[in-house]
Amino acid sequence: MQRLTPVELSVWLSDPHRTKPVMLDVREPWEFQLGHIDGSTHIPMASIPARLSDLDPDLETVVICHHGARSYQIASFLEQRGFGKLYNLETGLDGWARTVDPAMATY
């Protein structure tokens, strides 16, 4: 698993020559409703084991939560199950809102 800052993810998403990653948001539904990165796939943390087959281990996947701790746990879980192209969004959506999208709600 690699670490990725919000600014690095923003640059990646804006690069027309680079394939967009799967952005796996593992926060709770109420958190996702408050704000999320457009194009994110929402699967709450507790649902990941049951929905593992919904994810492709061969795709670059950025795991996202509020501050980066839950996403780190899920990225580690996925890594143990053969996912090899994983990124943990450091500082999570809170960092994204503070450095990339100040219009996004924080909590």
**What is d(CA 104, CA 54) in angstroms, rounded to the nearest whole number?**
28
Q: Is 65 a catalytic residue?
A: yes
For the purposes of burial, counting CB atoms within 10 Å of the CB of 14, is it exposed (0-12), middle (13-18) or buried (19 or more)? exposed
Q: Write out the two tokens for 48.
A: 């990941």
Which residue among 23, 65, 89, 93 is the active-site one? 65
Q: How far apart are CA 10 and CA 44, in angstroms?
A: 23
Q: With contact defined as beta carbons under 8 Å apart, do 28 and 44 qualify?
A: yes
The token pair at 31 is: 């958190």
The residues annotated as belonging to the active site are: 65
